């Protein structure tokens, strides 16, 4: 497990790895068994997975009244940032398969949040457009996400929370 962590931690100094580990332990602590093996409680990968699990679960619950899932919010956010985009390009932007995007877009189309249009120049392409309903729903979802992050990161001060986010971004993008 240490070798895997070293591979994902490339570009991190030992002090940065220790900092990431201690920040994760502060926010994940309540979600870990009372006396986990040291191999788990010291593993950045394990701590990241616990943090992801808890935040995903909480976000899923917060989105339920909106009729959305985290994957929908990510897709809608990407579409809002890019503007109308081909379905295949959305798959690339999200790093998921074309089949996954088809399923997500089917859900969003049924909910009246996305429309597919075929350009006259290329009838094989599906260009995705947000409907007028989408921005307000995305705003509500992102507010819920912000509340979940604030709650989860409450044990940290503002500076520590910002440092954790920066370290997590580096950790995830290095993989």
pLDDT tier at 2 (50, 70, 90 boundaries)?
low
Lowest mean pLDDT among 56-65, 138-147, 165-174: 165-174
Is pLDDT at 37 greater than 60 in this prediction? yes
List domains and CATH numbers for the chain: 2-65+153-174 (no CATH), 70-140 (1.10.10.10)
Question: What pLDDT is stored for residue 32 in this prediction?
Answer: 61
50 neighbors 32 (Cβ within 8 angstroms): yes
Is pLDDT at 11 greater than 90 in this prediction? no
Q: Classify burial at 170, counting beta carbons within 10 Å of its beta carbon; exposed 0-12, middle 13-18, buried 19 or more.
A: middle
């Amino acid at each position: 497990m240490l070798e895997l962590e070293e591979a994902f931690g490339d570009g991190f100094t030992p002090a940065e790895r220790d900092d990431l580990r201690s920040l994760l332990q502060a926010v994940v602590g309540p979600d870990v068994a009372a006396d986990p093996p040291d191999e788990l409680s010291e593993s950045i990968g394990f701590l990241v997975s616990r943090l992801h699990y808890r935040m995903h679960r909480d976000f899923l619950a917060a989105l339920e009244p909106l009729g959305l899932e985290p994957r929908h919010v990510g897709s809608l956010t990407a579409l809002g940032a890019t503007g109308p985009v081909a379905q295949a390009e959305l798959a690339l932007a999200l790093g998921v398969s074309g089949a996954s995007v088809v399923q997500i877009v089917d859900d969003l189309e049924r909910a009246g949040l996305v429309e597919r249009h075929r350009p006259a120049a290329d009838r094989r392409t599906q260009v995705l457009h947000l409907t007028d309903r989408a921005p307000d729903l995305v705003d509500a979802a992102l507010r819920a996400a912000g509340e979940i992050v604030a709650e989860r990161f409450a044990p940290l001060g503002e500076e520590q929370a910002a440092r954790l986010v920066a370290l997590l971004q580096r950790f995830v993008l290095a993989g």
